[in-house]
Structure 1
Amino acid sequence: MESLYLLIPIALVFVAIAIKVLFWAVKSGQYDDLDTEAHRILFDDIKPRQPRRDSEGEAEQDAQRRESDS
């Protein structure tokens, strides 16, 4: 019974802290847009890099270099 005199105030302090954190999260906009973050994982952000070719002659030169190396 005597332990309840200690545990009840501690529990009330934890509840008060949890409520304060909840109101802070709502006030700061943590729950404003829940759908965007849920859908973001479905789409790729980074596009794969493809080699750039400035001209067709450069591609032919690369092919010739590969042939001469092997």
Structure 2
Amino acid sequence: MIDFFFLVPIAIGLGLAGLASFMWTLKNNQYDDMEGAAQRILFDGNDRPAP
């Protein structure tokens, strides 16, 4: 039973850290250009499709 007094705060802390990092990515516009990244992998530096 004493283990729960250590594990529960650790789990809550890790959950809050994950939520904070997700909110940081939203604030810094990490998810704005979803199609640009998908199209960028198809082209190399010469603006033509990769072989």
Distance, in Å, in 2 between the alignment partners of 1:46 and 1:6 is 56
Aligned-pair Cα RMSD in Å: 1.3
Aligned residue pair count: 47
After TM superposition, the runs of 4+ consecutive aligned structure 1 residues lying more than 4 A away are: none
Alignment identity in percent?
Answer: 36
User: Please, what TM-score do these two structures have when normalized by structure 1?
Assistant: 0.62
**Greater RCO, 1 or 2 (C-alpha within 8 Å, sep 6+):** 2
User: Please, what TM-score do these two structures have when normalized by structure 2?
Assistant: 0.82
Q: Which has the higher helix share?
A: 1
Larger Rg: 1
